[in-house]
Structure 1
Amino acid sequence: MNGIFAIEKPSGVTSNSFLQQLKNALMKSTIFQKDIQKAVMDRSQQYAKETGKKPSKRKLRKVSQIKMGHGGTLDPLASGVMVIGIGSGTKKLSEYLGNCTKIYETEALFGVATTSGDSEGDIITETSVKHLTWDDLKTVEAKFVGHLKQTPPIYAALKLNGKPLYEYAREGIPLPKAIEPRQIQIYSLQLFSDSLTRDHSYPILKLQDVEEREVLKKLNANLMEDKLYFSQEYCEKHGLKSEEVEVGNWIPLTDEERASIYSSKNDSYRAPLLHFKTSVSSGTYIRSLISDIGKSMKSSCYMVKLIRCQQQEWALDKNNVFTLDDFEHNDEEIWSKVLEKVLEEGSKVNIEEEFIRAKAEAKAEAKAEAEAAAKVAAEVNVETTEATAATTVEPVTVQSTAEETPTGKRSRDDEKM
C-alpha cells in the first residue's frame, strides 16, 4: 500500500513515538507482511547481483519495515490531525511541511508565563489578571489576524549559534542573544464565549519556593525581553507606524492575588481561561501566539490544551481521519479495505461511513459463506443418505429342511421313514 492518510494523535505522546505505535500495529497485518517480504526479496536479489554475496540482516533492515513518515510534528501535549505518508506516499509529505494551512483549537490560562509556553514548562513570571475584561480581550481577534512577526518559544527545535533552543533551556544556559522573530500569517482567530471564565478544571501552575523563583529569573531574564508584534493589516488600519508593540507595562501579581493562589487551604483557585480557534500558516507556534495574547493584555498566558483540528484537506469534522483504535480493534479485512480506499481516493472518503460499509459487507460475506457451507453440508448429507439406502440388503428368510418336533429336530432315521 502506498499513499497519504491522516490519523488522530492523542495527547501525552510524542509524534515519533505515536508513529512507531502505528507502524507496530500495521506491521502485524498479513497485507504489509507480504509487501515487506517482497521488498526484502527484491533487495536481496539486487544485493547478490551487485556483490555476489548474501546480504546481512543489517543490510536488509531498511526494507524489512514499513516506510512511513509524518507531515508535521505535534507537541506531546497536543492532539489531533497527523498526516501520514506510507510507502511511496512519503515523497508527498513535503506538501504538508511547507505552505500548508492548519486549524487549531486551544485553551490557555492567564496569569503565568512558562519557558515552553505550555503547562510542561517552568514558570518565568506571574502577572495580575484582575484587570482583564471581555471587551479588551475581543480586540485580539483583529490585532493578530493577518501577516505578522512571531518569536518562537525557547522549547523549539530551531537553532541559535548552531545549538537547538531547547538545549539551552535544559542545560540551564542563558541564550547568547534574543530569539529572532519569523514571519507568519494568521488567517482567522475566533474567541469562544467561555474565555475569561474560571469555571474549568485546570489548576494554575505555582512556584515551589523562593529559590526556584530566583534561579528562573536569572536563567530566563532574556525571555522577558521578547518583542510583541501586531499584524501589518491591523497596524495599517489604525495608522500605527511600527508593528512592534511595547510590552514593558505588564501588571504584576498583587499581594491579594498571590495570597489567593498560594493559600494552603485554597487549592481550588482557577485562573481566567483563554479559549479560541485559529487558522494559521506553516511555521506558526500556537504557544507563542498565546503568550503574545497574554502580553497584549498586560498579563501573561500559557497553553493547557491544543487540538489540531485540520491540516490542509484532512479534518476531524470531515470524518476523514483514522484513530489508532481503527487498526487495533478491527479485523484486518475490515480496516484494510477502508485504508486502501483512502490511499486511492484521498481525503474525500468518509472513514466512518466506510467502516460501517466494510463491516456490513464482511457480515454479509460471512453469512453467505455460512449459508453456502450449510447448503453443501445438506447436499452431502442427502447424497450420503441415498447412497446408504441403495446399498442396504433386505434380510433373507431361509427355510429349514428339518421339521420341528415337540422335542426339537427329527433324526436322519426319521427322515428315511
Structure 2
Amino acid sequence: MNGIFAIEKPSGISSSQFLLKLQNVLMNSTVFSKEIQRATAERMLQYQRETGKVPSKRKLRKVAKVKMGHGGTLDPLASGVLVVGVGTGTKKLSQYLSGTVKVYESEALFGVSTTSGDVEGEILSMHAVDHITMAGLKTMEQKLVGSLKQTPPIFAALKMNGKPLHQYAREGLPLPRAIEPRQVEIYDLQIFPDSLTTDHGYKLLRPTTKESEETVSELSHQKNLLTDTLYFSKQYCESQGWDSENARVEPPLVLSDEEMQKLVTKGDEYRAPLLHFKAKVSSGTYIRSLISDVGKAVRSSSYMVKLIRCQQQDWALEKHNVFTMEDFTENDEAVWTAVLEKVLEKGASVDVKHEIIEAQKAFSSREQELAAQAQSDLNRDAADTHTVKENVSEGTGTKRPLDDEDHEKSATASHQ
C-alpha cells in the first residue's frame, strides 16, 4: 500500500511516538507483512546481483518495516489531524510541510505568560485580567487577521545555526542573534462566545517552589514571548492609516490588590478567564505566539492549555476523512484494510467514518454467511451419517450407501 492518509493524534504523545505506534500496528497486519516480505525479497536479490553476497539484517533493515512519515509535527500537547505518508506516499509529504492551510481550535488562560507559551512552560509573569471585555477581545478578529508579522517562540523546533531554538532555551544558552519575526497569514479568526468564562476545569499556573521562582526570575530577563514586539496585520494597520505594523498598545496591566487577594484566597480553586477561538492560518504560524499576541493586545498575558488541529489542507475532522487509532486496533484487519485502500486511492474525498461502518457491516455479513455455511455443512454431514449404513461388499470390506435394491435384498434375507 502506498499513498497519503490522515489520522487523529491524541494529546499527550509526540508525533514521532504516535507514528511509531501506528507503524507497529500496520507491520503486524497480514497485508503489510506480505508487502514487507516482497520488498525484503527484492532487496535481497538486488544486493546479491550487485555484490554476489547475502545481505546482512542491517542491510535489510530499511525494507523490513512499513515506510512512513508525517506531513507536519504536532506538539505533544496538541491533538488532531496528522497527515501520514506510507510507502512511496512519503515522497508527497513535502507538499504538506509548507504552503498548506491549517485550521486550529485552541483554549488559553489570561493572566499568566510562560516560557513556552503553553501550560508545559515555566511562569514568566502574572498580569491583570478584570479589565478584559468581550468587545475588546472581538476586535482581535480584525487586528490580527491578514498578513501578520509573528515572532516564533523560543521553545520551537525552528533552527538557528543548525540548532533548534528550544535547545538553547533548555541549556540556558544565549541565542546567537535575535529571533527574526516571520510573515504569516491569518485567514480567519473566530473568538467564541464562551471566552472570558471562568466556568472551566483549568487551574492557573503559579510558582510552586523557591527553585521554580528563581528559574522564573532568571528566564524573565531573557528574550521571550512576553517581550517580543506585538504586531497587528498589515491590512488593519493600513485601514487605520498607520505607517508601520507595530501595534499601538500600552504595556500589560499589573495585578491589582483586589485581584491578588482573589488569587491568594481561592488558591487552586481560582479560575482565570478563558480564551477560546478557532483560527485558519498558513504554514509556519505558531498558535502559541498568536495566543501570546492576543494577551498582549488586551494589555494582559496568556498561555495555551489546549490545541486541536482541525484541518490540514483537505483533511479535516469535520469532514470525517480522518482515521483514529481505534479504527485500526478495534476492528478486524479486513475492515480497515478495505477503507485504507480506498483512501490511499481516492484521497480526502473518502468519508472514513461512513466507510468503516459499511466495512463493519460487510464483514459481519460475511461472518454470518460463513457461520451459516459451516452450520449447513455440519447438518448435511450429520444427515449423511444418519442415512449411510455399513455395507460390506463381497470380499472387499468396503462401505457404500444402500440404494433401494439393497434395501429389498436386505429385507428378504432378514425374512428368510
TM-score, with structure 1 as normaliser:
0.91
Post-superposition offset of 1:143: 0.5
Q: Which amino acid aligns with 1:286?
A: I
Q: For residues 256 and 220 of structure 2, what CA distance do their matches in structure 1 show?
A: 22
Post-superposition offset of 1:176: 4.2
Alignment of 1:7-406 (within 5 A): 7-209=7-209, 212-221=212-221, 222-223=223-224, 224-246=226-248, 249-263=251-265, 266-388=267-389, 390=402, 393-394=410-411, 396=413
1:3: which partner in 2?
3
SS of residue in 1 equivalent to 2:130: coil
Q: Which amino acid aligns with 1:80?
A: G
Q: For residues 340 and 211 of structure 1, what CA distance do their matches in structure 2 show?
A: 54
Post-superposition offset of 1:249: 1.5
Against the structure 1 CA distance between its residues 260 and 209, is the aligned structure 2 distance closer, same or farther, given a 3 Å change threshold?
Answer: farther
Q: For residues 172 and 259 of structure 1, what CA distance do their matches in structure 2 show?
A: 34
Post-superposition offset of 1:395: 7.8
Is the Cα contact below 8 Å between 1:8 and 1:80 reproduced in 2?
yes
Q: Which 4+ runs in 1 deviate beyond 6 A? A: none
1:411: which partner in 2?
none
Q: For residues 181 and 387 of structure 1, what CA distance do their matches in structure 2 show?
A: 89
Identical columns (%):
57
Q: CA RMSD in A?
A: 1.9
Post-superposition offset of 1:346: 1.1
Q: For residues 73 and 227 of structure 1, what CA distance do their matches in structure 2 show?
A: 26
SS of residue in 2 equivalent to 1:185: strand
SS of residue in 2 equivalent to 1:227: coil
Against the structure 1 CA distance between its residues 99 and 140, is the aligned structure 2 distance closer, same or farther, given a 3 Å change threshold?
Answer: same
Q: Which amino acid aligns with 1:305?
A: K
- Counting matched residue pairs gives 398
Is the Cα contact below 8 Å between 1:319 and 1:351 reproduced in 2?
yes
Q: For residues 140 and 155 of structure 1, what CA distance do their matches in structure 2 show?
A: 24
Post-superposition offset of 1:210: 5.6
Q: For residues 136 and 414 of structure 2, what CA distance do their matches in structure 1 show?
A: 115
SS of residue in 2 equivalent to 1:267: helix
Post-superposition offset of 1:356: 1.6
Q: For residues 380 and 134 of structure 1, what CA distance do their matches in structure 2 show?
A: 77
Q: Which amino acid aligns with 1:201?
A: G
Post-superposition offset of 1:355: 1.4
SS of residue in 1 equivalent to 2:141: helix
Against the structure 1 CA distance between its residues 234 and 209, is the aligned structure 2 distance closer, same or farther, given a 3 Å change threshold?
Answer: same
Is the Cα contact below 8 Å between 1:247 and 1:298 reproduced in 2?
yes
Against the structure 1 CA distance between its residues 160 and 262, is the aligned structure 2 distance closer, same or farther, given a 3 Å change threshold?
Answer: farther
Against the structure 1 CA distance between its residues 63 and 397, is the aligned structure 2 distance closer, same or farther, given a 3 Å change threshold?
Answer: closer
Q: Which amino acid aligns with 1:262?
A: V
Q: For residues 234 and 51 of structure 1, what CA distance do their matches in structure 2 show?
A: 65
Structure 1 residue ranges without an equivalent (≥5): 400-417
Post-superposition offset of 1:98: 1.1
Q: For residues 331 and 130 of structure 2, what CA distance do their matches in structure 1 show?
A: 51
SS of residue in 1 equivalent to 2:7: strand
Describe the superposition over 1:217-276 as per-residue Cα deviations: whole angstroms up to 9, x where unpaired: 33342224311111011011111111012566211122332232234x632100010000
Post-superposition offset of 1:376: 3.6
2:397: which partner in 1?
none
Against the structure 1 CA distance between its residues 255 and 397, is the aligned structure 2 distance closer, same or farther, given a 3 Å change threshold?
Answer: closer
Is the Cα contact below 8 Å between 2:115 and 2:219 reproduced in 1?
no
Is the Cα contact below 8 Å between 1:5 and 1:321 reproduced in 2?
yes
SS of residue in 1 equivalent to 2:268: coil
Q: For residues 36 and 59 of structure 2, what CA distance do their matches in structure 1 show?
A: 14
Q: Which amino acid aligns with 1:61?
A: R
Is the Cα contact below 8 Å between 1:128 and 1:257 reproduced in 2?
yes
Describe the superposition over 1:83-133 as per-residue Cα deviations: whole angstroms up to 9, x where unpaired: 010001111111111110000000000000111100000111111112111
Post-superposition offset of 1:398: 9.1
Q: Which amino acid aligns with 1:225?
A: T
Post-superposition offset of 1:384: 4.3
Is the Cα contact below 8 Å between 1:178 and 1:226 reproduced in 2?
no
2:398: which partner in 1?
none
Q: Which structure has the greater CA radius of gyration?
A: 1
Post-superposition offset of 1:162: 3.6
Q: For residues 163 and 364 of structure 1, what CA distance do their matches in structure 2 show?
A: 56
